[in-house]
Amino acid sequence: MPIRVGFAIVGVALLLPIFPAPVVWILILLLLLGIIAVGRHAFVAILDGMIASTSDDSRSREKGADADRASSIDSPAG
């Protein structure tokens, strides 16, 4: 099993304190059934897309924060 799928299962398991245990176990089973249904390669591709989209969001937030810092440094205190 690829490491990323393991991370996905651990991520779902981390929801245990938030949601009742049966709900989380159903989510884990659906995740595993999804791996079987669409095939491992397709499922990993979906996970890669999800990981890429979240990292793109964080990069854009970092760029925005850098731009805010740069504009505050460039502007004279007044």
The reported pLDDT for the residue numbered 59 is: 55
The reported pLDDT for the residue numbered 44 is: 72
Tell me, yes or no, whether 18 lies in a domain. Answer: yes
Tell me, yes or no, whether 76 lies in a domain. Answer: no
Q: For residue range 18-28, what is the model confidence (pLDDT) as tens digits?
A: 667 777 777 77
Tell me, yes or no, whether 69 lies in a domain. Answer: no
Tell me, yes or no, whether 34 lies in a domain. Answer: yes
Let me know if 35 is exposed, middle or buried by CB neighbors in 10 A (0-12, 13-18, 19+). Answer: buried
Q: Which residues of the chain have pLDDT under 70?
A: 1-6, 9, 12-13, 15-19, 35-43, 50, 53-78
For the chain, the domain total comes to: 1
Tell me, yes or no, whether 24 lies in a domain. Answer: yes
Tell me, yes or no, whether 52 lies in a domain. Answer: yes
- Count of positions (residues) in the chain: 78
Q: State which residues form the domain around 12.
A: 3-61
